[in-house]
Amino acid sequence: YQRRVHGGPVSNLDAAHIVGIMFESNFIGIVFSRTLHFQFYVWYFHTLPFLLWSRATLPAQYLSAAPWLWLGKALSHGFCLAFILAIEIVWNIFPPRPESSMLLTGLHLTLLALLLFSPVRREVSKAAKQVN
């Protein structure tokens, strides 16, 4: 997909970038909604793997602390799986309790912070500045 912004140069947008923006927008809406119902989880649970593995990767300085590269990748995959499992468990607690609600809010805010400070986001913004 190519776009021209206000008569400027043509920039290429790949499918992963477009889908990422849509999934991030949906997730931000979930994070800041006043109440959560189980159908909201159905709206965004399938986006969590994409957001965690392709958008909210752990920064390289944390992965480079591992003595072997495969260990760093395993830690990253383990973190993502544990994160999804924690969200799944919290959503399946019925009736909801204040502790589970606080844990879900904390998980959501953690993912939001990972998305905000993601190396992927910095690379995309650097590329956008170079085009403009």
The answer to whether the CB of 93 falls within 8 A of the CB of 100 is yes
Alpha carbons 24 and 31: distance in angstroms, whole number: 10
**Chain segment 63-73, per-residue pLDDT in tens:** 555 554 444 55
**Chain segment 90-126, per-residue pLDDT in tens:** 999 989 899 999 999 999 999 998 888 776 655 555 5
* DSSP-H helix ranges across 1-132: 15-31, 38-44, 48-50, 60-63, 69-91, 98-116, 119-131
**Chain segment 14-62, per-residue pLDDT in tens:** 788 888 889 999 999 999 998 888 888 888 999 999 998 887 655 555 5
pLDDT given at position 84:
94
Better-scored residue on pLDDT, 11 or 132: 11
